[in-house]
Structure 1
Amino acid sequence: MKRLLVLTVLLAWSTIATAHETKMGDDGLHKQDWFLNSFLDLKDDLAEATKSGKRFAIVWEQKGCPYCADMHVINFADDKLRTWIKDHYVVLQLNLWGSREVTDFDGQVLPEKELARKYRITFTPTVQYFPESVAEMAGKKGADGEVARLPGYFRNGHFLGMFEYVWDKRYAKGQDFQRYIIEKSEARQPSR
């Protein structure tokens, strides 16, 4: 009887774990089927996001990055988190050491690894968030156009919190991300 119970639990656990597995691409990066598959023209990608009523973000990763893997198998495995991001964002995945050619907002064409240097991306994962429209990027180069950056791996609450922070345009109101998180935390606390 114990063996049957153990086998049942293991089977159930493996079924749950399998439901959240990600695919590995030829470049060694974990893939989400809802990530943007584009011609890597950032201006066009931002315009498409805007047209669909969503925000645009770039997630930078690299092969062998354990925190990138965690982002996929922990953060993106959370159905509520993943669904919220999919409903509100167009996410483009770029490779810190990649060689695909990307057309930057300013028209410059660079391999991913050179764009990463231009944007001062030094570790992974890093998520960059951009303004709501192409017009807001006019005259800005590299990372100067981003409205927020999530540098490194964060647990689900803070990870989703940054996406919500940008969606709510708190950066435009001068509110720091840390204050936003504190405000959200206090709002969840029961009244005393």
Structure 2
Amino acid sequence: MANHINRRVFIGGAAAATLVSGRGHAEPILTDDGLYKEPWFLESFLDLAEDLDGAAKAGKRLAIMWELKGCPYCKETHFVNFSQPRIADYVRNNFEVLQLNIIGSRKVTDFDGTELSEKALAARYGVRFTPTFQFFPEASAGLKSLEPTKREVARLPGYLRPDDFLAMFRYVREKAYESKSFREYVKSQTG
């Protein structure tokens, strides 16, 4: 599988140097803000409607991963869950993951055009724990008129073990949220 470089994905420099021999994927990078970041995470202008529409054009779904410097479960998500190629490959191939800092100050443009800090955006969506993943519909049309808490189709608050973590991404990709809860979905997969 060839790597390609564009605005949305950049693998090079430090990321390329961290490739682990024989594992077929890059290790997470510790960024200046103290968060670990997968080299395949979305590089964004932080305009959520643009990011969602860009993901849709690529045949993917948009997920936001909220993190905090020093969060042990965020680190676990990177070094346990995303370290498994079956998980990293599924997520990378089916989702654009935008990493945001729950106490961050970068300006983000919400679906309704409101520009606010990462911290204010987290508060607007009621994100209180890290890691938290928010999953959004396939298109941004109609989202601007909804209350922020009604815009996402699913949420993963906190850490899940690898199998359940992967199941959540499958749940969203398969649009199972339209007919059942995540708990019912997991039960149907194991039953």
TM-score, structure 1 length as denominator?
Answer: 0.85
Match of residue 181 from structure 1: 186
**CA-CA distance at 1:141 after TM superposition:** 2.8
CA distance in 1, matches of 2:50, 2:84: 29
1:151 matched to 2:157: yes
Instruction: Specify the code of the residue in structure 2 equivalent to 1:170.
Output: A
**Among 45, 49, 52, which residue is 2:55 paired with?**
49
Please show how residues 57-136 of structure 1 align to structure 2 within 5 Å. 57-136=63-142
Query: Corresponding residue for 2:174?
Result: 168
Q: Match of 2:112, as an amino acid?
A: D
- 8 Å CA contact retained: 1:54, 1:89: yes
Distance (Å, rounded) in 2 between the aligned partners of 1:73 and 1:150: 18
- Partner deviation per Cα, 1:69-98 (whole Å, 9 max, x = no partner): 000000000001100110100000000000
Secondary structure, counterpart of 1:181 in structure 2 = helix
**2:26–2:38 contact (8 Å) kept in structure 1:** no
Please give the alpha-carbon distance, in whole angstroms, between the structure 2 residues aligned to 1:47 and 1:15: 35
Is 1:30 the counterpart of 2:36? The answer is yes
SS of match in other structure, 1:127: strand
Deviation >3 Å, runs of 4+:
14-17
Aligned residues, how many? 171
Partner of 2:3: none
**8 Å contact 1:61–1:93 — kept in the other structure?**
yes
Which structure has the larger Rg over C-alpha atoms?
1
Corresponding residue for residue 8 of structure 2: none
Range with bigger deviation, 73-82 or 133-142: 133-142
Whether the 8 Å CA contact 2:66–2:131 is kept in 1: the answer is yes
Q: State the alpha-carbon separation in 1 of the partners of residues 136 and 112 from structure 2.
A: 14
* Letter of the structure 2 residue corresponding to residue 141 of structure 1: E
- Checking the alignment, whether the CA contact within 8 Å between 2:133 and 2:156 is kept in structure 1 is yes
Q: Deviations over 1:160-184 (max 9, x none)?
A: 10110011111112x0100100110
**C-alpha distance in 1 between matches for 2:93 and 2:21:** 26
After superposing the two structures, state which structure 1 stretch, 80-89 or 138-147, moved more: 138-147
- Give the superposition deviation at 1:20: 6.2
SS in 1 for 2:141: helix
CA contact (8 A) 1:23 1:32 kept: yes
Query: Which structure shows the higher helix fraction?
Result: 1
* 2:42 counterpart of 1:39: no
Query: Match of 2:15?
Result: none
Cα RMSD between the aligned structures?
A: 1.6
Q: What residue ranges of structure 1 are gaps of 5+ in the alignment?
A: 1-13, 187-192
Name the SS for the 2:121 alignment partner: helix
